[in-house]
Amino acid sequence: MNLMDEVTRGTFLRAKQKVTVAIDFLNWLTSHRVTLPELQQSHLDVWQAEGPTTRRIAERFLKWAIKTKAVPAGLTIIPHRRGTSPRLPKPGQDQALQKVIHTDELDTRDRAAAILILVFGQQAENIARLTWEDVSVTDELVTIQLGTFQIALPDPLAQQWRELVANPGHEPTAAHPNTKWVFRGASPGRHINPGHLTTRLSKLFSTRAARLGTLHELTKLAPVAIIAETLGYSPTTIEGHLTDSAAAYAQYIAARAEIGL
């Protein structure tokens, strides 16, 4: 991470989780009066059996402890596998999208961001960095560039974005003169903090589960290359969500739009 030009929020959160799980593990050992030199495989097995699968992340700490000879060699933890995170199933996605479109549980800015997650599987970091150069809003058409192409939003999805243009929030006072950010932050000249955005949306759905669920559904409806290029993902990432390919991507967007009609 020290060698990275920019540490993304996702990378930071993964590192934070590794440290947090290691602390929880050490606290568990302390509560059971077990020191690191006394650690046995039976302790690790009980630790994993008693808690959630995220406890497997302690494998990173265990490898370090073995390497530094803080614990006996030969101990193992079932490794945590990527791709096992929960996904919001399609009925849950549809329900969340209906709430976004038809209720006032979120303000306009949050609704617009929620649409990008529930329909396009976008990450909060990428949403926060959107500028008005990426978005075009007219009476006839709303388009957003997430990857290589401009994507047209049909009604009623487009309505949230028309309202956002009319009332972007954090009015362009001295703190935000002619700001380029679609999702303005509380600090002058800064976009919204991605963590703050996900917290605001969490009252309706988990942004991570929703994003993974959306990408899973998308891979049923269009080839990996098209999805990746359209949404700004790498093909490798989309391949991880692949189940099969069928209808064109435009059909998917039209189908999701019908939910609000």
How do residues 195-224 score in pLDDT, each as one tens digit? 888 888 988 898 888 988 888 888 877 777
Give the pLDDT confidence score for residue 192 in this predicted structure.
87
pTM of the model: 0.62
**Phi, psi torsion values for 43, nearest 5 degrees:** -65, -45
Give the pLDDT confidence score for residue 226 in this predicted structure.
81
Structure tokens at 91: 């009925």
Give the pLDDT confidence score for residue 208 in this predicted structure.
85
Q: For 50-84, write each residue's pLDDT tens digit.
A: 777 778 888 889 999 999 999 999 888 876 555 55
Q: Low-confidence residues of the chain, pLDDT below 70?
A: 79-85, 169-178, 236-237, 239-261
Q: How many residues does the chain have?
A: 261
Determine the residue type at 131: T
Residue 133 in contact with residue 143, Cβ under 8 Å?
no
Give the pLDDT confidence score for residue 248 in this predicted structure.
41
Q: How far apart are CA 119 and CA 157, in angstroms?
A: 9
Orientation angle between helical segments 207-218 and 194-201, nearest 10 degrees: 90
